[in-house]
Structures are given as C-alpha cells and as structure tokens.
Amino acid sequence: MVRLLRTELLKLRKSSIWLLIFVSPFLSLLVGLGETTAGLPEEEYWLTTYQWMSFPHAALFLPLLTGVFSAFVCRYEHVGGGWKQLAALPVSRGKLYLAKLLVVCLLIFYTQILLVAGLFSVGQWKEFQVAFPWETVAIGAFSGWLACLPLIALQMLVSVSWSSFAAPMAVNVIFTLPNILILNSETYGPYYPWAQPFLAMMPHTETESFRALHISMETLFIVILGSLMLFLFAGFTYFIRKEI
C-alpha cells in the first residue's frame, strides 16, 4: 500500500496538475482582501472574512476540484495504457483504487490548509487585532474536507470507468452548478451531497444541542457517510471486476 502511494505521488509530482491546489485558495485570498469588514465589531472580523472566502471556495471550487483531481489521476493511466500495466503487476486492484482515492483526498486536504493559510494572511495584511479563531476555522476546514470525500468517491468511479477526460468533468459540473440554488433551500440543501462542503464549512451561530463538527450528526451520518459508502462500494466493485 505504501509502495502504491509512493508510485502515485511520483506520477503526480511530475505532472503540473497538483498546482491547482493553489488556485482556489488564491482566488479566495483575493476575495478576502477585497471585502471590507468596516462597520463590524472587531471580534467578528475573522469569521466574516472566513465566510466571504469560503463561499466561492466551498460552494464551487472544492466540488469542482474533487472532479478535476480524480479525473487527472486516472487520466494518465487511460492515456498511456497504465491500467493494463498496473493490473498485470503484483498489486491488488482494491489497493490500487484506494491509493488513487487517498491521493485525491490528500490534494483536497492541502487545498484546505492553503485556504486557512490564505485567511491568516488576509488578517495579517489587514492587521486584525483580535486573536485568530483557530478552533472554528480548523474545524470548518476539516468538516469541509470530510464533506468532499463522497464527491471524491463518486468522481473516482466516473473517472475510472470513462477514459475520456471531459465526461467525468461534465458530470462534475452538472452536479456542482445547481449548488448556487440548492444552497439557499432549507429543504433540499442538507440532503444534496454537492452542497455539503459549503454547509460543513460554515460555522453555525445558533446554539444547537450537539455539534461535533460544523455539521449536524444527522447530515454527517445520513448524507455524507451514506453517500460515501454507496459511492465507495460501487467504485470498488466496479474496478475489481473491470476487464482491462
């Protein structure tokens, strides 16, 4: 398993696609710099900036990136006949699939770290005097990452099965764009997997009985874990049985 991951990272490092992890945090950084916090009480500076920055990032870029990264780690296998070679090597297909998934999870994780770093830089630039709300922001970024996992699992399934690069991207965009509408819906928002990264990243101000992350336990178990299990199971079964 470790060897599979090392191979995947070697292949990834030499392609330029991993640089995309910088794009969304950078754009969010610009959003953060552009927004004004004037007129707000000083203790809300950080969280308001965080919310401004998270909006384009989590509602749009994050779901899109899951698709781009998944499609890409499969892309170079499709193009050069790599699946065939890997399948004829003494590695189990299940582990190979898992390695691909983990690499994408890792990339999204770095993206989240960079977003937090971006937020921190914005605050430094604007010379916020209050302390950085580490807990809220870290939990938000982590919840956002968690909410991306089902999307990664689905995108991986789509990317493995279609050798074209455009097809998985189309699926990705088709499901991500309605986010803008669905996010505003109290009824559908909590059940739409593509809306979860955003919902998870938003800190909840209202007092609720129990919230481990920024997600209600209900959403966590039913929507996120449920869809993750479904997509993972479908992906594994498909890939292990696939004729290469």
Out of 30, 42, 43, 84, the residue judged to bind another protein by CB under 8 A: 84
* Least distance in angstroms from the C-beta of 195 to another protein: 35
Q: Which stretch binds another protein (CB under 8 A): 22-30, 37-45, 88-96, 143-151?
A: 88-96
- Residue 59, both tokens: 């509602």
- The footprint of another protein on this chain (CB under 8 A) covers a number of residues equal to 25
Out of 81, 117, 124, 164, the residue judged to bind another protein by CB under 8 A: 81
Please give the residues from 39 up to 78 whose contact with another protein meets the rule CB under 8 A.
Answer: 76
Out of 88, 135, 166, 205, the residue judged to bind another protein by CB under 8 A: 88
Structural contact between residues 27 and 16, judged by C-beta atoms closer than 8 angstroms: no
Task: Confirm or reject binding of residue 6 to another protein (CB under 8 A).
Answer: yes
225 Cβ contact partners less than 8 Å away, ≥ 6 residues apart? none
Task: Confirm or reject binding of residue 79 to another protein (CB under 8 A).
Answer: yes
d(CA 22, CA 40): 29
SS3 content of the chain, % helix, strand, coil (to 5): 80, 0, 20
Out of 20, 86, 106, 167, the residue judged to bind another protein by CB under 8 A: 86
SS3 track for 25-77? HHHHHHHHHHCCCCCCCHHHHHHHHHHHHHHHHHHHHHHHHHHHHHHHHHHHH
d(CA 118, CA 31): 10
Out of 89, 117, 173, 180, the residue judged to bind another protein by CB under 8 A: 89
Please give the residues from 10 up to 29 whose contact with another protein meets the rule CB under 8 A.
Answer: 10-11, 14-15
Give the interface with another protein as residue ranges (CB under 8 A): 3-4, 6-7, 10-11, 14-15, 76, 79-82, 84-92, 241, 243-244
